[in-house]
C-alpha cells in the first residue's frame, strides 16, 4: 500500500445544527493502517458556553443523536486530548472542510487549546494520490454506501474508498503497469 495515504486521517463531525452558531456533538476520525481502515469516534458533551438554543430537531432527525445522550458524553477537553493522541502526525482531510474547521475550532476553544490543525479537502487529496481507474473505484465505493450521518461511520466510508483505490493502485503497479 502507498505510504502517502497512511499519512492522512479523515475527519467528520455531527453538529447541533448547520447554523453559524452550531457546535460539535460527535467527532470521528478514520485512517488507513497496514491495509485496514481504523476509526475512532466520540460524542461530545456541550460546553457551558455553547448555545443550547442552537439545537436543531431537524439535524437530530438526520443524525439520530438525542440531546439527552450528550449529557453523559466526554467533555470537550477529554475529546480534544484523545483526538490529538489518535491523530498523531497525520494530516486532516474532510469532504466538508469549511464546516469541519469551524467545529474543530469550537471544540478546541472549549477545551482551552490554541491548536487548530488545517483541514484539507478530501477530493483534492484524493486526486493528488490516485488517478484513472483507482479514482473511479474510490468514488464508486463511496457512492455505493449511503452516508449514515454518524461521525465515525461517515469518516470510515471515505477511508474505505481510499482503501479500495490504494489496493487497486498497488495491484496495478505490482503487475508491471503504472496506475
pLDDT at 73 over 50: yes
Position 60 scores a pLDDT of 95
Across 125-135, average pLDDT: 93
Q: What percent of the chain has pLDDT over 90?
A: 87
Question: Domain tally for the chain?
Answer: 1
pLDDT at 172 over 80: no
* Cα gap 179→169, rounded to integer Å: 6
- Nearest CA to 67 out of 78, 53, 81 is that of 53
pLDDT at 72 over 90: yes
Q: Is 2 left (phi over 0), alpha (psi -120 to 50) or beta?
A: beta
* Burial (0-12, 13-18, 19+ Cβ within 10 Å), 61: exposed
Position 2 scores a pLDDT of 61
Asked if residues 125 and 174 have their Cβ atoms less than 8 Å apart, the reply is: no
How confident is the model over 84-127, as pLDDT tens digits? 999 999 999 999 999 999 999 999 999 999 888 999 999 999 99
How confident is the model over 20-62, as pLDDT tens digits? 999 999 999 999 999 999 999 999 999 999 999 999 999 999 9
41 in a domain, yes or no? yes
Position 174 scores a pLDDT of 40
154 in a domain, yes or no? yes
- Mention every residue, 6+ apart, whose C-beta is less than 8 A from residue 157: 142, 145, 147, 148
DSSP-derived secondary structure for 37-54: EEEEEEE-PPPTTS-GGG
179 pLDDT band, cuts 50/70/90, is very low
Q: What percent of the chain has pLDDT over 70?
A: 93
101 in a domain, yes or no? yes
179 in a domain, yes or no? no
CATH code assigned at 109: 3.30.420.10
- What is the residue-averaged pLDDT of the chain? 92
Across 53-75, average pLDDT: 96
User: Whole domain around residue 35: which residue ranges?
Assistant: 3-174
Amino acid at each position: 500500500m502507498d505510504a502517502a495515504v497512511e499519512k492522512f486521517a479523515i475527519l467528520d463531525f455531527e453538529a447541533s445544527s448547520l447554523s453559524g452558531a452550531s457546535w460539535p456533538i460527535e467527532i470521528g476520525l478514520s485512517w488507513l493502517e497496514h491495509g485496514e481502515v481504523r476509526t475512532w469516534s466520540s460524542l461530545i458533551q456541550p460546553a457551558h458556553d455553547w448555545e443550547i438554543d442552537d439545537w436543531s430537531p431537524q439535524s437530530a432527525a438526520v443524525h439520530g443523536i438525542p440531546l439527552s445522550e450528550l449529557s453523559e458524553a466526554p467533555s470537550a477537553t477529554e475529546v480534544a486530548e484523545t483526538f490529538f493522541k489518535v491523530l498523531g502526525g497525520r494530516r486532516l482531510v474532510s469532504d466538508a472542510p469549511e464546516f469541519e474547521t469551524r467545529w474543530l475550532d469550537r471544540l478546541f476553544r472549549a477545551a482551552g487549546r490554541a491548536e487548530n490543525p488545517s483541514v484539507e479537502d478530501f477530493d483534492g487529496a484524493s486526486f493528488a494520490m490516485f488517478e484513472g481507474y483507482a479514482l473511479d473505484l474510490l468514488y464508486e465505493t463511496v457512492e455505493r454506501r449511503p452516508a449514515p450521518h454518524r461521525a465515525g461511520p461517515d469518516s470510515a466510508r471515505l477511508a474505505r474508498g481510499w482503501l479500495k483505490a490504494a489496493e487497486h493502485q498497488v495491484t496495478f503497479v505490482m503487475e508491471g503497469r503504472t496506475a
